[in-house]
Structure 1
Amino acid sequence: MKPQAASLALLFYLLAVGCGERMAIPPAPSLKPQCGFASYYHATLAGNPTANGEAYDPKKLTAAHLTLPFDTEVLVRRRDGDEKVRVRINDRGPYVDDRIIDLSPAAAKKIGIFGEDGVAEVCLAIIAAPSES
């Protein structure tokens, strides 16, 4: 093969490899306990679809988290007291910088953050990961 043809072939190969589509691999959700602020959804959103497709029900013990898989069971515990609640992740959020979880009103009532500021410092612990069936 002539040097010019070999150089051209190498150039096309490098262009093809360099221009190939790259898939971004999202980071794996942390299974370590997380601490931060929790807030809650307004009940007026009842019936709207959540990120996993089910209708939002403010009376159920559910929550939104940015990275945990849907159907993960999480224990939410207030840092300033003994209140705790078990919730199931069925939505994405919160989209406020200092928040780590958005709770349904039913869950917020269980840990005493419904009303007033509607925000409290909490710690999250994974109770059960969803089954891979």
Structure 2
Amino acid sequence: MANPSRAETCIASQYGVGDGYHGKRAANGSIFNTYATSPYTVAHKTHRFGTVLRITNLANGRSISAVVTDRGPFVKGRCVDLGRAGASAIGMSGTAWVSVE
């Protein structure tokens, strides 16, 4: 897990459905699968590839562990992009306020 003292609170978004990313090569060289659950995968701007992050939806307390495989999001105020499976697992539709540790 990442260092808890470096937890971020921000808006998370979902990617991989309808945006052309599903099935394309992620920044770490793997093929991005937005439906992957084992492990869930995320895009983050600065964490190293392979870092396992705990993503918690602040609205409902649901969380997942996910591996950083890609870069993004590139929208101001957002700190993490989740694949569809991860977004569904934490009860997120579109965007949500999350804690990332």
Normalising by the residue count of structure 2, what TM-score does the alignment of the two structures yield? 0.86
Higher normalized helix content (fraction of residues): 1
Name the counterpart of 2:53: 74
Query: Deviating runs (4+, > 6 A) in structure 1?
Result: none
Which residue, 64, 82, 95 being the options, matches 1:85? Answer: 64
- Superposed, 1:1-133 pairs within 5 Å as 31=3, 32-44=6-18, 45-60=21-36, 61-114=40-93, 118-125=94-101
Higher Rg: 1
RMSD over aligned Cα atoms: 1.3
Unmatched 5+ stretches in structure 1: 1-29, 126-133
Higher normalized strand content (fraction of residues): 2
Inter-partner Cα distance in structure 2 for 1:110 and 1:57: 15
Alignment length (residue pairs): 93
CA contact (8 A) 2:16 2:33 kept: no
Q: Identity, % of aligned pairs?
A: 30
Inter-partner Cα distance in structure 2 for 1:78 and 1:58: 18
Unmatched 5+ stretches in structure 2: none
Normalising by the residue count of structure 1, what TM-score does the alignment of the two structures yield? 0.66
- Ranked by relative contact order (alpha carbons within 8 Å, sequence separation 6 or more), the top structure is 2
